[in-house]
Amino acid sequence: MPPSQGWIVPDWPVAANVHAFATTRAGGASGDRYAGMNLATRVGDDPNAVERNRDALRSHLPADPIWLEQVHGTDVVDAERASPSPRADGAVARTRHHVCAVLTADCLPVLLAARSGGVVGVAHAGWRGLAYGIIEATLARMDVPAAEVVAWLGPGISQAAYEVGRDVYESFVGQDPGARGAFRPGAPGKYHADLYALARRRLRAAGVDTVHGGGFCTYGEPDRFYSYRRDGATGRMATLIWMD
């Protein structure tokens, strides 16, 4: 992938056969509120523009990605055996050239790779996915010791921009009192949630000690990222991983 594309290549200690990147709005054929590299087919964008965007993306990949029908759940598929558009929020691959992908526009994409380079995965982790256990479900499907897994956190919404209700706070603190450190008070009855901190906490509780990435804010960089919280109807970026 040419560096001039403007997409994000993780800086993380993985085997040489593991490849990954996250797209941004850079490039693409979409216009208006979807302007740039929208890769989602179900957000109201011109289907022809989306297909051109996906064609452009494919030129940087060894094969078509496994595009998930994401539902903020905990189902995880094996990319080698997945049906077209499986209903899931995570995917893993154990063989070459099977591209796992998630689409996001504020939710957190989490990349996972075994240090050996023998298995990779990706999870779509909004607050529901994090609270319900999508990271743990993806790790379980990878079926390697968590201590042998390296994680990378891609572009998501920052704590400063992500105000949530008491229900979200209770979803985490009710099962893990220590998670209250990932929230700070907002307006009355509201909290600012740190998805990055919550993801790191879940990863480390699961046994993943090496976690890279984070520090992005999809909400705060409108020229670079799509953000559902900021714009409502908008496009989606992709975060992808595969092995050679």
Kindly indicate the confidence band of residue 5, based on its pLDDT and cuts at 50, 70 and 90. Answer: confident
Residue range 96-124, pLDDT digits in tens: 999 999 999 999 999 999 999 999 999 99
The total of structural domains in the chain comes to 1
Cβ burial, residue 135 (10 Å; 0-12/13-18/19+):
buried
Is 42 inside a domain boundary?
Answer: yes
CATH number of the domain at 130, please: 3.60.140.10
Is 75 inside a domain boundary?
Answer: yes
Is 185 inside a domain boundary?
Answer: no
Nearest to 218 by CA among 227, 210, 209: 227
Gap between the Cα atoms of 208 and 187, Å rounded: 34
Whether 70 shows a pLDDT value over 90: the answer reads: yes
Whether 4 shows a pLDDT value over 80: the answer reads: no
CB crowding 198-221: b at 16 or more within 10 Å, else e: bbbbbbeebebebbebbebbbbee
Is 226 inside a domain boundary?
Answer: yes
Is 201 inside a domain boundary?
Answer: no
Q: What is the pTM of this model?
A: 0.97
Residue range 170-214, pLDDT digits in tens: 999 999 999 999 999 999 999 999 999 999 999 999 999 999 999
pLDDT for 1 equals 47
